[in-house]
Structure 1
Amino acid sequence: MDLKVLRYFLAVVQKESITAAAEYLYLTQPTLSRQLSALEDELGVTLFMRGNRKITLTEEGRRLRKRAEEILDLVTKTESEFLAPAEQLRGDIHIGSGETRAMSDIVQIIQQVRVDYPDIHVHIHSGDANDILDSLTKGLVDFAVLIGPEDLSEYEFLRLKKKNQWGLLMRKDSPYAAKTVITQQDMLLMPLIFPRQHNTENKISQWMGPHYRQLNIISTYNLIFNAALMVEHDLGYALCLDGLVSTVDESIFCYKPLQPRLDIDVYVVWKKHNPLSKVSELFANQLKLQLL
């Protein structure tokens, strides 16, 4: 499979038109059409549904789009690592992270590295734990910030200094807003919006004990912004970590911690026995210096 053809394919996806993509790529339309047809023949699938005004992706086309983006991102990342001048420490560091205020520990280290090495650039990739680990496995990110992972045996890891605490995000006009903490009995009476992560489910299941199955979980989410919208529209109460949503005076939200208190550790991890680029090795050393 030719990388050039994958770039052509993504250009057509972006422009939603072979004509527009051909102009963008400085190709003739017949040339681009032949390249796309050859790609479909090579893969044995139909990638596009061709309409009068625009083309849309088939299910196979959507799968290829995801893979093509990952492949080309990895190619760009690899090129940047090897093309950096040997005498000058420069390049890119890619960090995947879930939503956690403990990320501030990482940001402080990024700031220190950037002061000494201004030609190092850092890229943050946000997502849930599954997305971040998938990107780490594929080499799309160099480091991952994980909230309470269950198994770290395959990784080098360091625990961040800041812990997170579980609680509920709610409206300030909620009948529970006057409470200082939220108990297990309180949660049994609430419509709940839960993070869509296996390790979170395990932690809350252990915390709730035999009453876990009685919880009324009406919805799940992977990013807190969308969960906050549901809370704003009074759909329920979002289980989340502290410090992720503003609860200052003008905010409609308030946050109440769970009681008994439920804390969770946050780790920065990278793959064992995996050769790091020079800039990633520098960053790993800074992590060890600051966090050990």
Structure 2
Amino acid sequence: MEIKSLRYFLAVAREENMTKAADMIHVTQPTLSKTLKSLEDELGKKLFTRHSFSISLTDEGMLLRDRAEDLIAMADRIEKEFITLDDITGGDIYFGLAESYQIKYLAREIRILKSRYPGFIYHITSGDTEQVTEKLDKGLLDFAVLCEKPNTAKYDYVKFPEADIWGAVMPTDHPLAMKKSIKVKDLIGQPLFCSEQSWNNEIPAWAGDDFERLHLEGSFRLSYNGSLFAQEGLGILLTFKHLVECSEENGLVFRPLSPKQTSELYLIWHKFPSFTPIAEKFLAQIKTSFH
């Protein structure tokens, strides 16, 4: 199975049209059709369903699309890494980030490194622990940022300088907005929004025996999206301080949880990494800065 064939396949999967895909990747339609037919023969599976004016992926095609995207990303990354191995002025670093205002510390370190090595390029993706560690384990990321203590059997880490503070975001006219802090009993009977990861970890640790009396109205990976639902009065968002703008203008307030609940933030990497020179420089810099 050739990388070129997978690139052709992904082009057709994106465009859902053979002619448009052929134009996009600058090959003839017969060449593209022949390549895809060979790919189907090689795998022994039908990858596309042909329609009158379009094509769609079969279940097997959707599986290959997911795998091919990772393979192409890895191939592109390997190519870039070898090009920049001897380039002392730059290179690429790939980060997977959780949500936290403390990302500002990471941004500061990236700015410092960029000033020293102008050719340095950084790539940022966002997600929860499951999403970013999956990409890290596949070799698609150099570093990941987690809001929970990492598996020290697999990863080394440095801790960010501060801890994130948990609280409740709600409309300014909500009855609980009058309180200075929010206790577990205040949230019983209230529709709540939270990330699925935090609902299964941090919130039970804070709520204790009363956790079973809390109601998750919906889960969000991004706090900003959850805040829009809170803004409409659909529920109370449980999230970190500083992630959502709370002001008179947008009609939202943040009230810290009581007793105080915090989460540490960690920058992690594999115990036995194969870093590029620029990633090595970044790691040495951030170890010095964060310690």
Normalised TM-score (structure 2): 0.95
Distance 1:59 1:87, change over 3 A: closer
Contact kept? 2:150, 2:266, Cα under 8 Å: no
Letter in 2 for 1:185: K
Aligned-pair identity (%): 35
Deviation at 1:224, TM superposition (A): 1.5
Local SS of the residue matching 1:149: coil
Q: Which residue of 1 aligns with 2:15?
A: 15
Q: Which residue of 2 aligns with 1:182?
A: 182
Contact kept? 1:158, 1:288, Cα under 8 Å: yes
Q: Which range moved further: 69-78 or 280-289? A: 69-78
Equivalent positions of 1:126-141 (< 5 A) are 126-141=126-141
Local SS of the residue matching 1:177: helix
Deviation at 1:87, TM superposition (A): 5.2
Q: Which residue of 2 aligns with 1:209?
A: 208
Q: Which residue of 1 aligns with 2:61?
A: 61
Separation in 2, partners of 1:43, 1:138:
22
Separation in 1, partners of 2:147, 2:98:
7
Deviation at 1:45, TM superposition (A): 2.2
Deviation at 1:147, TM superposition (A): 0.4
Deviation at 1:229, TM superposition (A): 2.4
Local SS of the residue matching 1:182: coil
**Structure 2 residue 235 is the aligned partner of structure 1 residue 241:** no
Separation in 2, partners of 1:219, 1:86:
49
Distance 1:98 1:87, change over 3 A: closer
Contact kept? 1:105, 1:162, Cα under 8 Å: no
Separation in 2, partners of 1:253, 1:153:
41
Q: Which residue of 2 aligns with 1:113?
A: 113
Local SS of the residue matching 1:160: strand
| Cα offsets for 1:77-97 (capped at 9, x unmatched) | 111111126253321011110
Separation in 1, partners of 2:62, 2:271:
32
**Structure 2 residue 39 is the aligned partner of structure 1 residue 32:** no
| RMSD across aligned positions (CA) | 1.5
Distance 1:274 1:200, change over 3 A: farther
Separation in 2, partners of 1:153, 1:200:
25
Letter in 2 for 1:66: D
Q: Which residue of 2 aligns with 1:51?
A: 51
Q: How many residues align?
A: 291
Q: Which range moved further: 11-20 or 256-265? A: 11-20
Contact kept? 1:193, 1:239, Cα under 8 Å: yes
Separation in 2, partners of 1:252, 1:46:
53
Q: Which residue of 2 aligns with 1:122?
A: 122
Q: Which residue of 1 aligns with 2:265?
A: 266
Q: Which residue of 2 aligns with 1:91?
A: 91
Separation in 1, partners of 2:283, 2:61:
38
Q: Which residue of 2 aligns with 1:6?
A: 6
